[in-house]
Structures are given as C-alpha cells and as structure tokens.
Structure 1
Amino acid sequence: MSATLTEPDAAPRTPSSRPPGIPGTTSAGRRRKRQPITPWLLLAPSIVLLGVMVVYPSIVMVINSFTNLEIKNKMLGTPADFVGFDNYIEVFTKSDFPAVLARSLGLMVVLTALIIVGGMLIALLMTKLAKGWRLLVSIGLLLAWAMPPLSATVVWGWIFDTQYGLVNWFLNTLTGTNDFNSHSWLIDPWSFMMVLTIIIVWQGIPFAAFTFYAGLSQVPDEVLEASQLDGANARQRFRLIVMPYLRNVVTAVLVLETIWNLRIFTQVYALQQQGGIASETNVLGTYLFRQGLGEFGVTAAIGVFMVILLMGISYFNVRNTLKEEEL
C-alpha cells in the first residue's frame, strides 16, 4: 500500500478535482428541476377554456365596474368614461342593495344550517337502517336531488297555489274551516321565504346526506366500540370521535353550500313569476339580473362585490381547515 501511495507517476488529487464519469452538481440539478411537458399539454385545453370563460370575463367585469358603461355606449359605439369608485358608492348608498345583501346573507345562513344539520341527521339515520330501508331512503334522496331546480320550484308552487294548492286544502281540512281559501303564500315576503327555504333545503339535503354518509363509513368501528366500553354516550361519541374524522368533510360541504346558497337564482326567480313581489324578495342573483339591464357599470360593480364576498367566505373556511391539519 505504501508503494502505491508514493509512486512517482501518480498525480496528486486536488480537492477540487472530481472522479471521471460523475456529472457535475449543476447539470444534475438542472435535470432534476426540469419539469415534464406532458402534464401541461394535457392541461392546456382546460387552461385555455378557463382563461376564455372565466379569466377574461372577470377582467372585463372589473374594468367596467370603474366606468359608466351603459346600453347607449354599445348602441352608439362611444367609449365609456372612467368614474372611479362612483359605481360602488352608488350601489351602497343610493339603492336598495344593502337590504338585498342582508336578506341574502340571512337566507344563506338559514339554508346552510338546515342543510348541514338535516344532511347529518339523515346520514346518521342511514347508518342505523337495514339494507332495504337504506336503499329506499337513498332512492328518495336521489329523486329529490335529480329534479331540475326549475321543475321542483314549479311543482312546489302548485302545492302552495292560491286556488288549488294542496297546502290550503290540507289546512282547511285540518282546521274544519275555509280560512285558507284563496290564501296566497307568495305575496307575503316572510311566507315567500318560507316556501323558498323548503324548496332549496329539500333539494340540498341529498348532497350533504350522501357526503356525510360516505364520511361516516370511514370512522373505525373499533374506536367507537372502545369508547362505548369506556362509558361514552352517543352524544360524546359523536362530538369527540365522529366529528374529528368528519371535520374536513363538513368543511368542504359547508364551503360549497355557502357558495351555492349565496348565488341562488332559479328558485327565487321562478317563485317571483308565480306571485311573489320582486322588490321585497330579491336576493343577490335576481337583483343583479333585474338591476337596470342597460347600466353595465353598476351591474359590474355588484358582480365584483359578489365575487370578493364569495372568495372571502371560502378562503376563511379553507384556511381554518388547513391550520387544523397542520396541528
């Protein structure tokens, strides 16, 4: 070994020299950082579609919200003037938008709470039912979920019809009087909202119930049995064991239902056409639709505010979920 180390022909190895055949760290790092192009090629059609259908209209909406664009500008081909935040100030001070916003937010809270609670109760019930009854409940939920919103609203409008409604007939039969003859459930804003709540909750519960039922099937039976042997009652098992497993599922359903219930349109518009007073029952969707069809600047300002509101609500819920996962 000593002869090999002291051989005069052997060149000394400097610290900076590298053995032959081993690539440098720079080229290796570049190879590691190189991203495959195939996934981007597969995503390209979706990205282009999102850009055309979402990004571009959003940018145009934001720009129009700072102008006084009206139908006359479109007809005459004249450019709109920049007005700054005047449209936003007008929306919140010179219109009934604040009342519509408060009505929409209150309705969203009620609808979301009823759907979440009702869906959870039905999901818990399905875990206790026999296979045949569970199948029957699932079919009933699917039928309610599959019905188009417009068709469901028309059917429920007939049920609450003034002259031939099933509800008026049932109440007259129950009370033994004719007090509910020709009683309009849609003319009063409060009863209008009650009918609207029934329709939306009836169609919204199936999604929540199926989602929660799928989440409940992931809770280990061994953990529930062990907690039951330790003396935990049903309420404690649900709060301390089941809910931690379903936290992400509940958050996802909560975010989706919040967005859906804040942008409802079809049910409200159809009920208004059947007898409701639009000015007293408008929500954000119908108000945006009815807000001066030619006042594009003001309408765009309302749309921008709705987008910011929905993004804020979604971000708050998603951020809380991510924080809980990191703990």
Structure 2
Amino acid sequence: MPSAPTSPASPPQHRPLLALLIRLGAIAAISTMTALVKLASAHGVHLAEIMFWRQGLTIPMILAWVMMTGSLAQLKTHRPKTHAVRGIYGTIGMVLNFSAFIMLPLAEATTFGFTAPIFAVILSVVLLKEKVGIYRSAAVALGFIGVIVIAQPGSGHIQPLGAAVALGAAFMIALISIQVADLNRTEKPLTIVFWFAAFSTPVAALFLPFVGKAHDSTTWALLAGIGVVGTVGQLLLTAALRYGAVASVIVMDYSSLIWATLYGWLIWDQLPPTATWLGAPMIIAAGLVIAWREHHLHRRRLEEARLAEKEAAL
C-alpha cells in the first residue's frame, strides 16, 4: 500500500468493545440488504441496476448528512488514488457478493463468505511475506474441508459456479478489509464510503441504458431499501475497523448466519440442509482460530515494540 500523507482525520482510537457492537449492527444491516438483493433479483431487476441504486443512493445520503452536521470539507481526501483502487476492488467484490446471494440460498452464500479470514491468511503470506505457523495453517485446512463438506462436489446440492462466485467474493472481502484498515489510518468512515460510491456509481450507470426498466412500487421499495440499509451497514463496517482490529471484530460476522437462516425460512421457506450444518462449524472454527491467533500476534508485536522503545531510551 502506498504511504499516506497527513490527513485531517484524527488517528483511530482502539475501543474493542465498541468495535464489536458496531460490527454486530453492521452485520444485521448487511444481512438485511443481501435478502433485499435476492428479492429484487427475483422481481426481475438486473444486477447492474441493483448495484447502481445500492451505490447511487449513498451519495445523496452522505452529502445530506455532512451538510447538516458540518461542511463538505469533511469529505476531503489526500489519497484519491488509494480510494480509486479501493473503488475498483470494491466494485468487483460487490458484483461477486451480490451474484453469490442471487445464485445460492442465503445460508450457503453466507457460510462461504466466512472463508474471508482464511483468504486473509493466504494474502498475508503472498503479499506481506508473513510466516504462518501451525495454528493458522491448520485453520486454513479445516476451513477448506468445511467448504468441501457444504459444496459436496458432484452431488448437485450446490451449484458449482455459485460456490466459486461466493468464494471469489470472500477473497475480495479479505483484500478489501486490508485496504479499508489502511484507509482508516488517515480517513474518516464517511470519507471512505463516499469515495467508494463516487467511483463505483458511474461504472454501474454505464449499464443502465441496457438493463434499466420500469418497476412497480414494491420493486422500487426494495431498491430503496438496498441503498439505505446497505449504506448504513457499510458505514458501520468501516467504523468498526476504525475502532478495532480486523482479527478482533470479524468474530461478529458469524452472526450473519443467524440472519440468513431466519430470512431464508421466513421469506423463501428454506432451511439449511445437514451438509451446511456440518460444514459451517468447521469454517467458523477456522475463522475463530485465525482471529485468536491474529489477536495473540498483535499483542506480542505491541509488547516487542514497547520493549524496543524502552531499550532505545536507555
């Protein structure tokens, strides 16, 4: 990641309990949004149009908020290139994520999303050249065994393309989380979310002349709900990473399986099959082990840094 110049944003404060609560609220909002995305697709709305309204409504919502609470200067950034890269990755991630929820039952798509911490470990090795010990290596193996249990290759239980798309979405979530954590060092959550919408909305708008069409009031309500709830969820996700480390707050993401199961049952009369209940605990356990290990390593690095400072002061 490129180094960032000084920004007017205050440095992040480490408040782990607040970060966990914010992340829990974010997951509830995002889970609701994904259910609305699936419903909108069932009403015949094209993915590109769903993405346009999801991102397009974010811009006036944030502009209205900053004008009521201060000035547009709150959205100023010194890192436009970093935001542009985040916009590219975020758009790809959104395409994959929404597609996964459209193609698969909610619970299965959600469970595949839990592999994001596993991909984060792999990215730390590839991008950061970090050494991974036995704990995280075993967790990665356990997580992928859980994926195989749920997908049951060759059984026809899960659409292979849908599973591949969901895993691709999880990979992008891991990559984007690293970007957002970097941006949070210098940028406010409102700024990060606004510039993501500013970069991604025009891309989605390019497809509207080809896929856009008239809708009934119910469908318009679904699209409005996607934009509003999605914006709230994204702001909360970004804020959680400002007050807590990724490895700590990601534990709250597993609550999305509760929401996915509830919405799947209430709206589509679907309950996860036995394979999902067997594989999901493996993936969740893998994520928890990775989160625990990341937290342990983070504390050790802080202790080593403090000792180094003391020695330098002598």
**TM bin (shorter chain):** under 0.3
Q: Which protein, 1 or 2, shows the higher relative CO under an 8 Å CA cutoff with sep ≥ 6? A: 2
Whose helix fraction is larger, Structure 1's or Structure 2's? 2
Per the normalisation by structure 1, the TM-score is 0.25
